[in-house]
Amino acid sequence: MKLPKLGWVKFRASRSLNGETIRSATLSREGQHWFISLLVDDGKTTPTEHALPGTAVGVDRGVAVAVATSAGDLFDQAFITADEQRRSLRLQRKLSRASHGSANRTKVRQALSKIRARERRRRQDFCVKTARRLAHNNALVALEQLPVRDMTRRAQPVADPATPGQYLPNGGSAKSGLNRAILSKGWYCFEAALKSAARYSGTQVVKVPAAFTSQRCSACGHVDPKSRESQAVFRCTHCLRPAEHADVNAAKNILAAGLLAVSACGDDP
């Protein structure tokens, strides 16, 4: 492939183009490896109707379970092994002790980048496969409207009014842990993969407000924070129906909101 300012560069193709027209190329680096991503025009159009008309599913994205559906399916995967996690922590400690500009620091950073690259690839693979499965089986997929960038911002410092120059506890440590958990589950990656898969299946992707979806009973509609007994258990305090997985209950509420939004627009899933 001929690249501007670099000339002809050999590369290993992961798949053939089959006559597709290349629109652009993006060169990126992961650790010591370089990758080229090609944007191509495959000539395919989005189907006007899904192969399974009338099918619909709600999807709840979480930090304990990556993807939960209104059908009761739970999709999750560990993207880094326990051994890799321990090795990553050791390498981070070594990196903090290494001198800036030293060969040892470069070596440690390269080892860390390899682990993180494997984690990213596993997450991408999980998101793509899960998104394709949901798009293939459903004419409509409803998602929460989640501003991931805003949700993962660091906690702002809280100045102590009684002591100028001093700051009060702001929960920054807990917020950092939540940010890492959100990013590790690949919420945005899954949404992007779902929209891409929907282009080929004709699936309609609908985003609905996230307010109270985790506190509302999907059976009677009662809203009560106490119904969320734990991270995983939802037991309505009003209708006293049998407990179910909290993320599945939220996914059912998301599906109901998605169907309502579609019917209000006069569309059919």
Strand 67-69 to strand 33-41: parallel, antiparallel, or no bridges (unpaired)? unpaired
Q: For residue 19, is it left (φ>0), alpha (ψ between -120 and 50) or beta? A: left
Q: Read off φ and ψ for residue 64, nearest 5 degrees.
A: -90, -45
Catalytic residue, chosen from 119, 144, 191, 244, is 144
Contact 208, 26 (CB under 8 A): no
- Compute CA 90 distance to the chain's CA centroid, rounded to the nearest angstrom: 27
In the residue annotation, 144 being an active-site residue is answered as yes
Catalytic residue, chosen from 60, 119, 191, 244, is 60
- Residue 205, CA atoms < 13 Å, CB-side half-sphere: 21
Own/partner long-range contacts of 18-26 (Cβ < 8 Å, ≥24 apart): 25/1
Strand 244-245 to strand 33-41: parallel, antiparallel, or no bridges (unpaired)? unpaired
Query: To which H or E segment does residue 260 belong?
Result: helix 246-264
In the residue annotation, 60 being an active-site residue is answered as yes
In the residue annotation, 119 being an active-site residue is answered as no
- Where in the sequence numbering do the catalytic residues fall? 60, 144, 247
